[in-house]
Amino acid sequence: MIIQFNFKNYKSFRDEATLDLSATKMTEFSERVVSIGGEKILPVAAVYGANASGKSNVYGAFEYMSDYVVNSFKYGDEVKNFDEIRPHPFMFDSESENSDTSFEVYFTVPGDKTEKSYNYGFCVGKEGITEEWLNYKAKTARKYKSVFYRDKKNLDLSGIPKASRENISVALEKQVLIVSLGAKLRIARCKLVRDWFLNNEFADFGNVITNFFMSRLLPEGFVDDEKVREKVVKFFASFDETIKGFEVTKLPQQDDSKDEHFQIDALHKVIGSDELAKIPLQNESAGTLKMFALYPELQEVLDQGGVFFIDELNARLHPLLVRNFILTFLNAEINVNHAQLVFTTHDTWQLSNQLLRRDEIWFTEKDNDGLSTLYSLADFVDEDGSRIRKDESYEKNYLLGKYGAIPSLKTIEFFKGE
């Protein structure tokens, strides 16, 4: 589980931003707080804000960190132009444009009976990695111990087995992360970190291309296993009981292609008959296709105890459906492996003290200089210096501008007649 995610100098975030999923000392919904490794962790974080305020950049920062961890072992000298890989820094002042971008995460590993906590991070400059570190802490310990640390001048591998230190020292290049290289060399602690990132899922529903491809991904075993299809039907029954099943037909191979293609039909009950009508899945509503796209990742994170990052969860979905999706992560009987959901949204209907804790609600706001900030409702202090009460109407007060993070609107006057 993510305990805390920090990043700095990434796109609209020039200064350090922190998304903290550790639970604060508040009384509402205390039963949903997960206790692991001496930490109390929340299963959900919702990020609100105006368009172009930086919500998607919070999602993008963690996605970038994950991609770099998983893929950097392939970079090295093969990368001719590192600018194509380097994260986008804040561009509106000369100092940040030339400064490093940093990413750091504190987390626990699903299924770890020792309940250790880990702290991993790295900084990326113009030519490659300028700093990288991995620390761990036992459940009962107060301080973290170092596994490795590097910067431009130093390389400390004291927490890595001696037999592997020389291999890393020889093979490590400035564009490559120790964690990524170490995982390929089968060093246990490096592989543990790499695999933790691999267990997380991402869905950007603000991206048209992502929507297109995700709606065509099939759940594992969907083609061959009737039981898998039955599970998908039960999933759909939570919001659309008209779909009674799916029929999978293998299509003839085209030309010399070795790829297999299938026709997926949704089966609907015919009124006044026991017969079922076939509707090609691609002809279903955009909302149905989105929920079909969400299912494989949802199944994966619930099974593996990963983190599901979703940008614009509310897009093309009814608010009650979004609520039902969120409740899946809040229900301890369903979410037995402590999976987490971090999502951005404009759906203020979910901004309710009947659904979310104050420390599960986050806002992004951008100032006149183009600088984004990230803050929690739990930490927000109003004009009178008072913190937000748990019995307030979060949605009403947010739309009134009490918490900030809303658009500054003006009349679109250019439509006026001359």
Q: Please, which pLDDT band fits residue 382 given cuts at 50, 70 and 90?
A: confident
- The DSSP 8-state label assigned to residue 54 in this structure reads S
CA distances to 2, 58, 109 from 119, rounded to whole Å, are: 10, 19, 11
What pLDDT is attached to residue 414?
A: 57
Mean pLDDT of 257-274: 83
What pLDDT is attached to residue 94?
A: 87
Q: What are the φ and ψ backbone dihedral angles of 195, each rounded to 5 degrees?
A: -65, -30
Lowest mean pLDDT among 3-7, 99-103, 168-172, 255-259: 255-259
What pLDDT is attached to residue 409?
A: 65
Report pLDDT digits (tens) over 193-249. 999 999 999 998 766 666 666 656 677 788 888 888 888 888 888 877 888 988 888
Q: Does the global pTM surpass 0.85?
A: yes
Higher pLDDT, 273 or 207: 273
> Where are the domain boundaries for CATH 3.40.50 in the chain?
2-200+306-399
Tokens at 85, concatenated:
């890989």
Q: Please, which pLDDT band fits residue 183 given cuts at 50, 70 and 90?
A: very high
Cα Dmax for the chain: 79
Nearest in space to 290 (alpha carbons), one of 269, 307, 311: 311
Going across the sheet that includes 276-280, the strands are 243-250, 262-269, 276-280
What pLDDT is attached to residue 416?
A: 65
Q: Please, which pLDDT band fits residue 264 given cuts at 50, 70 and 90?
A: confident
3 state SS of 105: strand
DSSP, residue by residue, 125-185:
-SSSEEEEEEEEE-TT-SS-EEEEEEESS-EE-TTS-HHHHHHHHHH--TTS-HHHHHHHT
CA distances to 97, 172, 175, 230, 397 from 270, rounded to whole Å, are: 61, 63, 59, 19, 46
- The DSSP 8-state label assigned to residue 385 in this structure reads S
Class of domain 2-200+306-399: alpha beta
Residue 410 in this model has a pLDDT that exceeds 80: no
What pLDDT is attached to residue 415?
A: 60
What pLDDT is attached to residue 211?
A: 61
Report pLDDT digits (tens) over 321-356. 899 999 999 999 999 999 999 999 999 999 999 999
Mean pLDDT of 38-48: 97
